[in-house]
Structure 1
Amino acid sequence: MMATTWMRSMCGLLLVLFLASCASGGRVASAAGGDMPMPDTTTTTGAYEGATDYRIGGQDLLNVSVFGVAELSKDVRVNAKGQISLPLIGTILAGGRTVQELEKELAQKYSATYLQNPQVSVFVKEFSSQRITLEGAIKKPGIYPITGKITLLQVIALAGGVDERIADLGGIVVMRQVDGKRMAAAFDLRQIRKGTLVDPQLYGDDIVVVQESGSKTAMRRFLESMPILGIFSFL
């Protein structure tokens, strides 16, 4: 209950800030549909960067194994600095790298002085750095971990779908952090379902809010001020 109240308060605060930005002539990012700006989480904190592989982030749980050397196989948690610690080679930077890049570096480290042609495998057991928050007229609001590329429709389905009795299907707001600044965009779920509006890809740390029909909130004023075309505006 406390977590839900906190999320609602944060979403409300962000929208109030957005409205103030609009009043002062805030900038608008000309990105819509499939050409949306990616969030800051595509750097070293773990994310899917466009169409490329997953980049490891802080708090991810990795299984590192060396074929034929059981003593070097273990589960390691990536720390807040993006580092892991392994036997013989010590501390290695894993954050911001793909699994393949990390496997290659570990193999080079082990082969330098300890092993001949080591076969190193890295498997991401927990994608702890990747979470999306869903709030509002959702059947199961909360914070959901994601394990790969995911779209708005898919993440709503993950939360059991919208509450069709009270949800405003034309009032879906996505908020994210881009270049150190908070951005928001409005989407019409009906258009996405019909295929007339691109189903946007979401990223870790995105916040999705489904507006309740007939509500008189700051979010409603936000929706009335923006075209439902997935255009992101700076808050």
Structure 2
Amino acid sequence: MAVAALGLSSCADKRGGTVPYDVPNFGAPDAPIVLKTDESYHIGPGDQLAIVVFRVPEMSGDVTVDMTGNLTMPLIGQVSAVGKTADQLQTELAALLGSKYLQNPEVRVAVKTANNQRVTIDGSVKQAGIYPIAGPTTLIQAIALARGTDTDANPRRVIVFRVIGGQRQAASFDLTDIRRGGAPDPAIFGNDVIVVDGNKARQNFRDALTAVPILSIFRPF
């Protein structure tokens, strides 16, 4: 692993490391695994909810949380759902309905389909985190979700981790070349993990890469 450590300590604004560039077969990932939700799951944009208002069938049905985190119901209109559990949301909906429209309403909320289209962006970006994506997304667009690269970033070394064929793989990309039009802007998929190199990010690379044998990078690991 000493070789990996040396590769990760390369100077800023340079290519390097053991993860290959210009990978011709870095294809689409495996189909997302259906997320099994429980009482601790927090609702996110794109989630489909099954809402039942007992004895009021016209207010019951499936509702999709929009990308701003809201859902819309008859009578009460727009309600913020993002970040809440199903129990919290059903309590809020019952209170809203009971305040004006129904007497002692009974409401049940269940997460019918959890949105898996999220990417993790870490390293030398201005706002690391987990972000939802909707529809086709490229690497440049994904980095923009994290407010762009940080001042200490090395844009010539960005690693994307992806599960292909049931095994985790990785490939490096050069944002400088992509921005200049010298390299294609690769597609990014739900569950990808993107790490941007930089002084603050070097430990992230070590944590991601030193957990596996050096020869297994961009081979199944």
TM-score, normalised to structure 2's length? 0.49
Please identify the structure whose Cα radius of gyration is greater: 2
TM-score, normalised to structure 1's length? 0.47
